[in-house]
Amino acid sequence: MKQYTPDLIRNVAIVGHGGSGKTMLIEHMLFTAGATERVGSVEAGNTQSDYDQLEVKRKISVSASVLPIEWHDHKINIIDVPGYPDFIGDLAGVARVVDAMIIVCEAKRDLDVGFDLAWEMAEKENLPRCIFINKLERDNADYEGLIDTLHQRYGRKIVNVQIPIGKQSLFSGVLDLLNMKVYKGKDRGVEVEEIPADYSDLAAERREKMMDAAAEGDDELAMKYLEGESLTSEEIEHGLLEGTKNGKVVPVLLGSAATGIGVATLLDRIIGELPSPLYHPFTVNGEKMPEDPAGPLAAFVFKTTADPYVGKINYVRVFSGTLKADDVVLNINRERDEKVHNLFTPHGKTQEPCTVVPAGDICAVAKLQDTHTGDTLTTAKAKIQLDPVDFPEPIYRVAIKPATKADEDKLGNAIHRLLEEDPTLRYVRDANTHQEILEGMGDIHIETCIEKLKGRFGVSVTTGEAKVPYKETIKVAAKAQGRFKRQTGGKGQYGDCWLELTPQSRGEGFTFENKVVGGSIPKNYIPAVEKGVIETMTKGFLAGFPVVDVKVSVYDGSYHDVDSSEQAFKTAASLGFKAAAAKAQPVLLEPIMQLDVEVPDDSVGDVVGDLNTRRGQMQGMEPSGPGKTKVSALVPLATIGSYALVLRSLTKGRGRFRATMSRYDEVPHNETQALIKAFEATKKDDED
């Protein structure tokens, strides 16, 4: 593939809900442009973009893939983006490096959650976009119903630039309002026909509306149009481009990803009505900079893959300057130099070697030592750093455990490789629950990660529920004696101490104080007393959870010249602590989360009702956008382990939430008794 200047490049993300037909649309785009010799099939598992074994198995996209094509002397970098919310991290990364989005949706009245996510991401990144209405050939296709929905939601910016010829099973082509021609046939076999007589009135009416929108996109065109002059096709296309670029226009195209109808005109519109990198200056410290191949180097890493054989591959968008093979560049985020040994043009799962990548283009770089998603590659002289991607925080967690000792030895490295690849994945070792926790964006996300561990790295793990990190404390002060005496015929064991436990403020932690006077306990045994207390607090005394926010004072005791030892005083301290704690109104504490839930207005009642069943304390509600409400509540962590799945069900996938740690509060009495009972049962099982 030859090298292109920025004005001849189009970087577009194909986005939308899972199952809307994005992957098959791309198959027809590749075939129509001559990039492939056949059209693959999702069902057959032989598409260019869904090549990973997990994608073939699940028949869904789980990772973004880059597929460049050449069309009418332009290069179009197509990026296939997963549509399921579990993989929203790829959408966030890709949105930072494309110049436009094509949102694919089914021809039905209701819009899916994947459409909403894509639209919101485009709004966030200020990206031009167009809509491709797919599946017009289906029996239940409702093109006019969808157009009504789009107009109701987004108003005049929705601009029809095509009309379907035939409905549902009779859908046979598209009437293009720019050229006022009908395009029938599919892929490379498109035939151009005149507009049928029964479509002429509708075509004239909608072309007039399209011309209105085009005129609004450019001041000079607006003046000409207001003076009563008609716009030429070239002027309309220019006006649509300007309107799309500034967000005033969202062109609506249509077709069928199953048959290939409408694909050739879609490719034409990408070139004609979606902006090149020249229209997308990047920002450094609030200042816009042009995408100039001769400018200072600024290349952004938007995706990383971890291959057990090839190693790490970084996908890079060059925003300024020119990246060359064998260059030494500066990773300004890590403050270290990297040698660019090899550059590639990615084609799905295959890579084509290249030597030069100018501003505006996308490439892959293999085997960079310490470069990750969100990093900027620049030069020591330029020192440009682009803003990192704002990836969403994980919302779903499970505990994992290596299946065998061999798996345990390999798990750490395998997890590290996955974390490099996926910024929305977290792996933590919970010291309180002694569990290894894998956190992600949902159950499908976690399942695919576990399958990657097995398929790519040969590591098997078992999963379980992530335990709640409860804690124990006391409410009042109390004193007790801990006395340990044992005689076995020879030297015995003797330790005796009096302890006072005092509650401390929440979060104040543990304090130990020696108040012994007169030598009732020799000073050399005091550290053993403290150690005995700490070990007991770590294991808990009520239900096996760590004890917090307690001050312990040792103020009296006794010893034996021969039988006393550090071990004896450790044991005595443990006994004394447990005895005093039992009299100090012991309680369990649970983590309380600040839960902020954004939901459609029509789901607020269901969400609030569900939070009430989870012992939620409502804090308020406020509008968070058109048709949306933010519900805030304090909710125990113990009740929201699977909340991501529940919220998805309650809101048809449109609800989102963020949970942050707020504080620890007392566990209600009935819940406490259940936890104590479960702990006692576990101890009995261990003893048996």
> Three-class SS string for 150-169?
HHHHHHHHEEECEEEECCHH
List, as one string, the DSSP characters of 480-497.
Answer: EEEEEEE--SSS-EEEEE
State the Cα–Cα distance between residues 213 and 168, nearest whole angstrom. Answer: 28
Q: Give the pLDDT score at 285.
A: 78
- For the segment(s) 590-670, the CATH number from 3.30.70.240, 3.50.50.60, 2.40.30.20, 3.90.1580.10 is 3.30.70.240
- Residues 22-31: what's their mean pLDDT? 95
398 close to 466: Cβ distance less than 8 angstroms: yes
The residue among 50, 26, 45, 51 whose CA lies nearest residue 36 is 26
Which tens digit of pLDDT belongs to each residue from 293-343?
A: 999 999 999 999 987 677 789 999 999 999 999 999 999 999 999 999 889
Superfamily holding 284-378: Translation factors (2.40.30.10)
Given a cut of 80, whether residue 415 has pLDDT beyond it is yes
* Half-sphere exposure (Cβ direction) of 111: Cα atoms closer than 13 Å: 23
The residue among 371, 392, 490, 486 whose CA lies nearest residue 439 is 392
The residue among 374, 312, 366, 367 whose CA lies nearest residue 344 is 366
Given a cut of 90, whether residue 349 has pLDDT beyond it is no
Q: Where are the domains of the chain?
A: 6-196+248-280, 284-378, 396-464, 472-584, 590-670
Q: Estimate to the nearest angstrom the gap between the alpha carbon of 127 and the chain centroid.
A: 19
pLDDT band at 290 (very low <50, low <70, confident <90, very high): confident
420 close to 312: Cβ distance less than 8 angstroms: yes
Residues 6+ apart with CB under 8 A from 524: none
pLDDT band at 518 (very low <50, low <70, confident <90, very high): confident
CA angle 523, 526, 529 (to 5 degrees): 160
Q: What are the C-alpha distances in Å from 626 to residues 24, 30, 114, 186?
A: 32, 37, 17, 39
pLDDT band at 604 (very low <50, low <70, confident <90, very high): very high
SS3 for 47-65 is CCCCCCHHHHHHCCCCCCE
3-state secondary structure of 348: coil
Q: Give the pLDDT score at 287.
A: 82
Q: Give the pLDDT score at 2.
A: 85
| pTM for this entry | 0.88
3-state secondary structure of 599: strand
Q: Which of 20-34, 168-182, 301-315 has the lowest mean pLDDT?
A: 301-315
Given a cut of 80, whether residue 70 has pLDDT beyond it is yes
pLDDT band at 685 (very low <50, low <70, confident <90, very high): low
State the Cα–Cα distance between residues 322 and 361, nearest whole angstrom. Answer: 9
Q: Give the pLDDT score at 286.
A: 76
Q: Give the pLDDT score at 614.
A: 96
Which tens digit of pLDDT belongs to each residue from 191-249?
A: 999 999 999 999 999 999 999 999 988 888 888 888 888 889 999 999 999 999 989 99
Percent of the chain with pLDDT over 70: 99
Given a cut of 70, whether residue 354 has pLDDT beyond it is yes
Q: Give the pLDDT score at 57.
A: 86
Q: Give the pLDDT score at 364.
A: 95
Q: Which residues of 50-78 are buried (b: 16+ CB within 10 A; e: fewer)?
A: bbbebbeebebbbbbbbbbbebeebbbbb
In the numeric block, the tokens 């492939």 are attached to: 36
List, as one string, the DSSP characters of 271-320.
Answer: HHHS--GGG--EEETTEEE---TTS--EEEEEEEEEETTTEEEEEEEEEE
User: How many of the other CB atoms lie within 10 Å of CB of 21?
Assistant: 24
3-state helix, strand, coil in the chain (%, to 5): 35, 30, 35
The mean predicted confidence, pLDDT, of the chain is 93
Structural fold of domain 6-196+248-280 = Rossmann fold (3.40.50)
State the Cα–Cα distance between residues 493 and 451, nearest whole angstrom. Answer: 55
State the Cα–Cα distance between residues 19 and 402, nearest whole angstrom. Answer: 34
Q: Which two three-digit tokens encode residue 226?
A: 């207001």
User: How many of the other CB atoms lie within 10 Å of CB of 8?
Assistant: 18
Given a cut of 80, whether residue 121 has pLDDT beyond it is yes
672 close to 545: Cβ distance less than 8 angstroms: no
167 close to 141: Cβ distance less than 8 angstroms: yes
Q: What are the C-alpha distances in Å from 295 to residues 326, 381, 688?
A: 19, 12, 74
State the Cα–Cα distance between residues 178 and 251, nearest whole angstrom. Answer: 12
62 close to 82: Cβ distance less than 8 angstroms: yes
* Residue 186, phi then psi, degrees to nearest 5: -140, 160
CA angle 15, 20, 25 (to 5 degrees): 70
Given a cut of 80, whether residue 687 has pLDDT beyond it is no
State the Cα–Cα distance between residues 604 and 490, nearest whole angstrom. Answer: 73
Label the pairing between strands 362-366 and 311-320. Answer: antiparallel
Which tens digit of pLDDT belongs to each residue from 620-664?
A: 999 988 889 999 999 999 999 889 999 999 998 889 999 999 999
State the Cα–Cα distance between residues 477 and 43, nearest whole angstrom. Answer: 68
Q: Give the pLDDT score at 241.
A: 92
Q: At what angle do helices 263-273 and 233-245 cross, to 10 degrees?
A: 70
Measured over the CA atoms of residue 659, residue 662, residue 668 and residue 673, the dihedral's sign is: positive
pLDDT band at 362 (very low <50, low <70, confident <90, very high): very high
Measured over the CA atoms of residue 242, residue 244, residue 249 and residue 251, the dihedral's sign is: positive
Q: Give the pLDDT score at 250.
A: 96
Domain 6-196+248-280 and domain 472-584, same fold? Reply is: no
State the Cα–Cα distance between residues 510 and 579, nearest whole angstrom. Answer: 18
Which tens digit of pLDDT belongs to each residue from 211-221?
A: 999 998 888 88
pLDDT band at 178 (very low <50, low <70, confident <90, very high): very high
Q: Which amino acid is at 84?
A: Y
Structural fold of domain 472-584 = Ribosomal Protein S5; domain 2 (3.30.230)
**Which residues, listed in sequence order, are joined to residue 379 by a DSSP beta bridge?**
none
pLDDT band at 407 (very low <50, low <70, confident <90, very high): very high
- For the segment(s) 396-464, the CATH number from 3.30.70.870, 3.30.60.50, 3.40.190.10, 3.40.50.10490 is 3.30.70.870
Given a cut of 60, whether residue 688 has pLDDT beyond it is no
Q: Give the pLDDT score at 489.
A: 67
Which tens digit of pLDDT belongs to each residue from 432-487?
A: 888 999 999 999 999 999 999 999 899 999 999 999 999 999 999 999 999 999 87
Q: At what angle do helices 200-216 and 219-226 cross, to 10 degrees?
A: 130
Given a cut of 80, whether residue 103 has pLDDT beyond it is yes
3-state secondary structure of 105: strand
Given a cut of 70, whether residue 676 has pLDDT beyond it is yes
Q: Give the pLDDT score at 427.
A: 96
Residues 6+ apart with CB under 8 A from 519: none
Given a cut of 90, whether residue 60 has pLDDT beyond it is no
